[in-house]
Structure 1
Amino acid sequence: MDHVTNNYEYVLLDVFTKEPFKGNPLAVVPTAEGLSDAAMQSIANEFNLSETVFLFPPEGAGALANARIFTPKRELPFAGHPTIGAAAVLAERHGSLERCVIEEKAGRIPIDLERTAEGLCLWLTTPPVTFHETLDPAFCARLLGLTLGDVRRDVAPQFASAGSPLLFVCLQSAEAVDRAAIQQQYLGDALGSVNSVGTFVFAMKLQTPAASFDVYSRMFAPQTGISEDPATGGATGPLAAYMMKHGLLPVDESVRFTSEQGTQMGRQSILHVHTNAESGEIKVGGSTVTIARGVLAADQ
């Protein structure tokens, strides 16, 4: 049977940055109707970015779009920077939005759009976070190519998920975060019962009272085809929940902090986090920069 080839517009953005060629690059296909699952996976592999997002008409009332998110190797139920990037593209097309909802496999994701003199900041509300088993700090040190002294013993490494399960490991210093490197021989034992999609390492960045909650972080996901992710919004919400669970953030007051990620790989990203003690919501926000636009010729 002959192949049917159609043209599909795409937009390339850098997410969680105000500077071009920083942050986390993302491809968005704004009108993906007609693409099969296999075609979307092939396109994501062709772009070879940490994620590519495909937008379809919403399935339910009140949503602006239905999003399918693919890494080069698999589909994800939720991811932060594709959600933020998709909302930025939708905002460009729908005018002065203040809030929108995007459907994803993990559920309906609300995004608030905050316009300031510095530009547009998009805030996603993190889906409910679940916690799973803990891992031995000594094993995590071996997994990361570090010494046991590099891992904080008072904060248990643990799996947490807001749709895509991750292993969170708190380290002693930003310098230890920079030295971390996944040791492939231990990766199979680092998946846990939840089949984790990545390992998120972080350290408290500043110790002054005014900025005591800022963190420095990196994210490794070789099991999904991503050796390192420059900015991970889908991990930063669970990071805040993990920090509250383990006493690194207060649970009885609202807090704002930033997570710096991607610096070691030359793509500094700044992710803003707001925890709301009253509602229990965790919001992750950031800016985007449009880098390129083009057309895909893809078989359906």
Structure 2
Amino acid sequence: MSIEVTVLRVFTDPHGDFGNPLAVIDAGQVQPPARQHIATQLGYSETIFVDLPAAGSTSAHARIYTPRTELPFAGHPIVGASWWLREQGMPIRTLQVPAGVVQVSYDDELTAISARSEWAPEFAIYDLDSLDALAAADPADYPDDIQHYLWAWSDEAAGVLRCRMFAANVGVPEDEATGAAAVRITDYLSRDLTIVQGKGSVIETTWNPQGWVRVAGRVVNDGVTHVV
């Protein structure tokens, strides 16, 4: 049986460049026991399986997998799946994932989600003293028992930071754009941010002192592929 996979890039820059590839699959095509195998076969940092909303509903359900494990929450696949649903004529207001109910909104070219900071996994956070030190960091120097989030200000007054994420423990040696980490660092710094990650992906965040963080970004559709 051939499974249709839509490949998106999530958190592109304003020109549609960069972004983190994501596989989106209608969950009706794949039974739960086979989903981890499909995610491993595809090899993207995350693959999301979406239960389409019922007619007239503005809520959907989804499950998220890395090449190695299932995640209860991850920002980049939820933003991507929410954008994809709107493109299918099914815009939603909430997306249920194992961690909880994520609020969804659309603002022109931006798709945004609001999530609790505690839903994101714990990361080892490194505040580096320069952009040069950040660029020089080698993923091989960091142990694979936890995810490592490295960051440095590029414009502190404007809330712009540069970051990298090493996540070998979930099968992703370096992640191009990480929504869950954006939630954590926004809550950690307690301010709105523009996060430039990886080669140039862009994540916009808004901090709420009640523990919610809004994560927004742009999405590009790179087409459909199939796996067996």
> What TM-score comes out, normalization by structure 1 length?
0.69
Query: 2:186·2:193 contact (CA, 8 Å) conserved in 1?
Result: no
What does residue 260 of structure 1 align with? 196
Select 1:290's aligned residue among 206, 221, 227.
221
Count of residues in Structure 1 that have an aligned counterpart in Structure 2? 226
Give the corresponding residue for 1:16.
Answer: 11
Shift of 1:63: 5.4
Aligned to 1:203: 152
Aligned residue for 2:78?
83
Among the aligned pairs, what percent are the same residue? 31
Counterpart in 2 of 1:170? 127
User: Is residue 168–residue 201 contact of structure 1 (8 Å, CA) maintained in 2?
Assistant: yes
Partner of 2:203: 271
In 2: Cα distance, 1:19 partner to 1:28 partner: 22
Structure with greater proportional strand content = 2
Q: Give the CA deviation at 1:296.
A: 3.3
Query: Is the 2:7–2:221 Cα contact (8 Å) retained in structure 1?
Result: yes
Deviation at 1:92, TM superposition (A): 0.8
2-side partners of 1:21 and 1:27: how far apart?
18
SS in 2 for 1:73: coil
Distance 2:36 2:203 in 1: 27
Q: Deviations over 1:109-144 (max 9, x none)?
A: 1111001xxxx2011112243xxxxxxxxxxxxxxx
Which of 180, 185, 188 lines up with 1:239 in the alignment? 185
Q: What's the CA shift string for 1:31-83, capped at 9, x where partnerless?
A: 22252334211111111110011112469x96522111111111111111100
Structure 1 distance, partners of 2:174, 2:196, is: 14
Does 2:94 match 1:101?
yes
Report whether the alignment pairs 1:25 with 2:46: no
Using a 3 Å threshold, how does the CA distance of structure 1 residues 291 and 34 change in structure 2: closer, same or farther? Answer: closer
Partners of 1:19 and 1:26 in 2: CA distance = 18
Which amino acid is 2:207 matched to?
T
Which structure's CA Rg is the greater one?
Answer: 1
State the shift of 1:224 in Å: 1.0
User: Which position in structure 2 is the counterpart of 1:48?
Assistant: 43
Unpaired runs of at least 5, structure 2: none
Give me the CA root mean square deviation. 2.3
Q: CA deviation at 1:182?
A: 3.2
- In 2, Cα distance between equivalents of 1:36 and 1:9: 14
Change (3 A) 1:25 1:286: same
Asked if the contact 2:4/2:225 (under 8 Å) is kept, the reply is yes
- For the residues of structure 2 that align with 1:261 and 1:57, how far apart are their CA atoms? 30
- State the TM-score, normalized to the length of structure 2: 0.90
C-alpha separation in 1, matches of 2:186 and 2:7:
28
2:153 is matched by which residue type in structure 1?
M
